[in-house]
Structure 1
């Protein structure tokens, strides 16, 4: 006799019948279509995310490679040419693949998937442009704006040819219609907000270049890079970004980079050639320091 009289073995009990769905029911069919649509969206998101990771990794490598420029080795031209080729490959392969995925889609739904890669690419591309225009005079030191970057991300793809019904005497017209439908144009949308965030990261690389140029004895480059940092910071603090949390964080980091560069230039002016040996470049500004734009 079991210890618990109310105990019942579930294995020997009656099994519950599983309800069978009526596939012809309109509600069931609607949810099936929703599931298929969501699965396709998630798969597309994962593919874009993987492409963005590849772009991020390669862009970081290109930035590190650009920092290998040394005036003593005279390798600037060679490094810039190789960096340009690697950046063009990202545009023609990775960004083209993302643009194909986003074709006829709402790009803002997948913005979080490709945003890190796009910002890192903008940082690498603008840094390469800055180095290319560095020796062209003070008025020629510039980087591509948002519209110029958008123009280089235009693509073409061959669409399926649709052969119209050819009538007698209309052979030339039919050929023109077939050629017009053979090529389809599309683009990778560069969000202006992502461009602003990517350029703000450029100031960190300029700060590193300022310090590295002092280590190699190139004080002129050190001074010019510090001026460029000040111009970037002046432009960014003029933006009304009180509610843009990410941009506000980047501006705070930009200020720290600018102060480090100014500290380097101060040591160059005061101590001259001994600045590289005696200066400390890791000083952080005090928290109560007035930034001048609150």
Structure 2
């Protein structure tokens, strides 16, 4: 067979190809895949909206924590700063978390947990730190913070029928509302679900802020606050270490960081006891890394 014959054969085979058949939209399989596509697209868009809201919560929570660290007993600015922090935290609850709660309404919240986890943990850190600082120093009872159920009770909302379309309602929900012909809709209650696991992780980050408060108090000469904060850190560490959850990698990593914070605070208190009023002047290096062979006391 000649080369030309082979080439003609391939050309004829190319010419005999059938034209592309139009997709039958009435086919049940095609309709099912169209629905899957819409469902996945809707889920992805909702996930992205929640990520943006969580990012805003994270940024604002960090700013609130920074503001709370500016409390100085010498300036007598505690009440003013706490009032500002409470207003800003309340705004996060009423605006950002409400928007996320609307997005997650009638959804499986665990599918979108990673989208808002960072923001929620940062908010819990800021909220509990504000609560800790709000306790009266003259009160003999020990300072405490809200548990996850108390925080959950704050995240309760009531739907405003006049603003449903402006608060993240999906396209399908809007169509259903329009089909009702303007019928009166009863106000529905909903909430932002706080996973207890997220609360435990967020609360563990509070110890880092307490350690910074202990060191800052030394610089301002408030040694009583140093001792009190160190005692609080030790109680936190005792409680977390008793959980004995080595397999929970994220929590165990936070516990390891917590131990470093406790040692730094204890180093501050040690300098206060030994050097007294000269501790702030000596200014020991509290950021020294621990040796690798130090017994962590886990076993």
Q: TM-score range by the shorter chain?
A: 0.7 to 0.9
Other-structure match for 1:58: 60
Match status 1:219 vs 2:237? no
Match status 1:283 vs 2:288? yes
Match status 1:229 vs 2:194? no
Contact 1:158 1:182 in 2 (8 A): no
Consecutive unaligned residues of structure 1, counting only runs of 5 or more, are: 161-177
**TM superposition score normalised by structure 2:** 0.86
Contact 1:155 1:186 in 2 (8 A): yes
Other-structure match for 2:245: 241
Q: What is the deviation of 1:283?
A: 1.9
Q: What is the deviation of 1:6?
A: 8.0
Match status 1:102 vs 2:107? no
How far apart are the structure 2 equivalents of 1:263 and 1:221?
14
Other-structure match for 1:146: 148
Consecutive unaligned residues of structure 2, counting only runs of 5 or more, are: 163-182
How far apart are the structure 2 equivalents of 1:267 and 1:102?
50
* Equivalent of 2:267 in 235, 238, 263: 263
How far apart are the structure 2 equivalents of 1:240 and 1:18?
63
* Equivalent of 1:121 in 123, 142, 153: 123
Q: Could you list the per-position Cα deviations for residues 90-135 of structure 1 after superposition, in whole angstroms to 9, with x for gaps in the alignment?
A: 0000000000000000000000000000000000000000000151
Q: What is the deviation of 1:285?
A: 2.1
Q: Could you list the per-position Cα deviations for residues 53-102 of structure 1 after superposition, in whole angstroms to 9, with x for gaps in the alignment?
A: 00000000000000000111110000000000000000000000000000
How far apart are the structure 1 equivalents of 2:201 and 2:56?
19
* Equivalent of 2:203 in 199, 215, 221: 199
Match status 1:28 vs 2:27? no
Q: What is the deviation of 1:17?
A: 2.8
Detail structure 1 runs of 4+ shifted over 2 Å in the superposition: 4-8, 13-19
**TM superposition score normalised by structure 1:** 0.87
Pairwise CA RMSD of aligned residues?
2.2
What secondary structure sits across from 2:159 in the alignment? strand
Contact 1:207 1:261 in 2 (8 A): yes
Q: Could you list the per-position Cα deviations for residues 131-164 of structure 1 after superposition, in whole angstroms to 9, with x for gaps in the alignment?
A: 001515242401000100000000001348xxxx
Compared with structure 1, are the counterparts of its residues 136 and 184 closer, same or farther at alpha carbon in structure 2 (3 Å cutoff)? farther
How far apart are the structure 1 equivalents of 2:123 and 2:5?
72
Q: What is the deviation of 1:292?
A: 1.6
Compared with structure 1, are the counterparts of its residues 133 and 16 closer, same or farther at alpha carbon in structure 2 (3 Å cutoff)? farther
What secondary structure sits across from 1:86 in the alignment? helix
How far apart are the structure 1 equivalents of 2:66 and 2:253?
23
Contact 1:69 1:76 in 2 (8 A): yes
Q: What is the deviation of 1:16?
A: 6.7
